[in-house]
Structure 1
């Protein structure tokens, strides 16, 4: 019986350690969830029926032996966007998720005759919530060296987001100064929405640097400049392409906005074009991430490629997209 007396204190100590560890873990989970609830909220779920039609017309005089098409497919964007049903016609050869989370469908059409139209029809049933972040302007931002690997690409320069430009660096640093908390993001947002004059479907001005110099652009340039200014300061920011349902106009339009990554908040929506900071209404539909989507050869919604073994010179494609939306 002596061995029981010897090991009894050890058992008690081990049990105590395990017990207090479980209590500590539960407390961490509780307080984390409580903190998240205070900083983020969902409301007003809305269901939509969205239909997207892509038309590709062979406008040449010869048959196209093979036509390849890639299409960005609307995906779940938890916790505010859910695809409850999807119907794609014709059925794609494959659907893959690219390196940055875009869902890409691949189609192949053989023997497209002159004047023939190829159509890709996709119907969705979507459930979308309004989301709102209660951002404390005094919360400190992460330093570049502290960023996890998955966020580091979102502080680098890329085509149209010239955060390595001396002029953009100078502007960003002048706006923010010594601010190292969330107020810095708000300052950059305020600058962009006041600095750029909205010009519908801008063709003269492309990219962040052009928008900064010419003070004009559409939603794409608003987003480019905001992202570039954030990246100068080491704030991860990414480009969003999607649709916005406009009830007063009874239609849906394509739109661009941004998301910034803030520790303890996650990816926070920012739309300087429509004056929305930390808020995404339930009429915003996310389609894809990225300014120049590599899997779509730099395009936003779809990309097509002609493969013709006869190598004729008069192969032409007229392409268009039609999108309809209504409340379910």
Structure 2
């Protein structure tokens, strides 16, 4: 028997931070961690009886300082874009319990860019970036393209939002504002697969994958390179930290991290200005980058699929994510100045 296990993306609501201070000169949001250190372990627990053929691709966290393999057999390392992948392909037999995955040590720092910056002109973006990050992307199983900058309806909408503006940063912001005004976060229970971008546009709702894929499609439709980030959000609302699977976007505007800025598409505030302040060009220290899209169908397949396996008698598979040795090293308040500057202070 052969089984393909989907990678479940259980998104969480990203609530807007509470405002502590409002003056004529600035807005200050509640203090939050700006530098966090921890270990993260993730993968699959396997309960086997009989024979098993197992194939699993596991990305190494982007900010990993040190990574150890939980199952150090039957693997090879590969690289796709900016990502390091551990690929397991092995056979096991008998009656046994074991785990496959990795443990990584991370130090993550909050990131923010000013809102008064000027971006690169869209018609001056390097052609190689447009060729790589303005393409259609999808999985083999999806009937419609998940990221689709060529869909006529998406193209028409993106062009109408862009208007005559040619600054990539300002157009990316306009598209984000449209997204916040016209869509809402809504999980689709019982179906772990992402919605195609055109379906999210019609429904005006979706989870983190869906909203991110629609935003990326709109940006790519006007030749702004955009890509998704797959990872986790650390949630400490119940005391002990837990990692919740998540996805968000990056757009190329000519500044930020090598020209890219993060865009969190899953915020749930009804205040568009607040969403821009906190989620456009901001990535707090609770975001864990696991996989960066490199613009191909292969990368979206890797990010959306779990392991494949063949077995003879009985096998149970259970995914796990564990955060330990969690330390909040520094704190700061996101501060928005009236002239567009932003900082954690």
Assess same fold via TM > 0.5.
yes
What SS does structure 2 have at the residue aligned with 1:228? helix
Q: Tell me by how many angstroms 1:278 deviates.
A: 0.4
Higher strand share: 2
Unmatched 5+ stretches in structure 1: 1-42, 77-82, 309-313
Please say if 1:48 is aligned against 2:38: yes
What SS does structure 2 have at the residue aligned with 1:164? coil
TM-score (normalizing by structure 2)? 0.70
For 1:325, the equivalent position in structure 2 comes to: 323
Please say if 1:186 is aligned against 2:176: no
Q: Check conservation: 1:72, 1:301, Cα contact below 8 A.
A: no
Please say if 1:172 is aligned against 2:158: yes
**Pairwise mapping of residues 222-233 of structure 1 onto structure 2 (< 5 A)?**
222-233=211-222
What SS does structure 1 have at the residue aligned with 2:110? strand
Query: Which of 53, 62, 67 does residue 75 from structure 1 map onto?
Result: 62
For 1:95, the equivalent position in structure 2 comes to: 77
Structure 1, residues 100-124: CA drift from partner, whole Å, max 9, x if none?
22211022332334x6444114222
RMSD of aligned residue pairs (Cα, Å): 2.8
Higher helix share: 1
Please say if 1:63 is aligned against 2:51: yes
Unmatched 5+ stretches in structure 2: 1-32, 139-145, 268-274, 328-345
Q: Check conservation: 2:58, 2:101, Cα contact below 8 A.
A: no
Query: Which of 250, 254, 259 does residue 263 from structure 1 map onto?
Result: 254
What SS does structure 2 have at the residue aligned with 1:193? helix
For 2:132, the equivalent position in structure 1 comes to: 153
Please say if 1:221 is aligned against 2:207: no
Structure 1, residues 261-316: CA drift from partner, whole Å, max 9, x if none?
112441100012124000110110100022997557814276423367xxxxx677
**Pairwise mapping of residues 1-328 of structure 1 onto structure 2 (< 5 A)?**
44-58=34-48, 62-64=50-52, 66-76=53-63, 83-92=64-73, 93-98=75-80, 100-113=81-94, 116-136=96-116, 138-143=118-123, 146-159=125-138, 160-181=146-167, 182-201=169-188, 203=191, 206-249=195-238, 250=240, 251-265=242-256, 266-274=259-267, 275=275, 276-290=279-293, 298-300=301-303, 303-306=306-309, 318-326=316-324, 327-328=326-327
- The alignment covers a number of residue pairs equal to 269
Q: Tell me by how many angstroms 1:180 deviates.
A: 1.2
- If asked which structure has higher relative contact order (CA below 8 Å, sep 6+), I would say 2
- In the alignment, the residues of structure 1 paired with residue 304 and residue 203 of structure 2 have an alpha-carbon distance, to the nearest angstrom, of 27
- In the alignment, the residues of structure 2 paired with residue 126 and residue 166 of structure 1 have an alpha-carbon distance, to the nearest angstrom, of 42
**Would the alpha carbon gap of residues 232 and 151 (structure 1) be closer, same or farther in structure 2, given more than 3 Å must change?**
closer
Structure 1, residues 25-57: CA drift from partner, whole Å, max 9, x if none?
xxxxxxxxxxxxxxxxxx932211212241234
For 1:3, the equivalent position in structure 2 comes to: none
Q: Considering only CA atoms, is the larger Rg found in Structure 1 or Structure 2?
A: 1
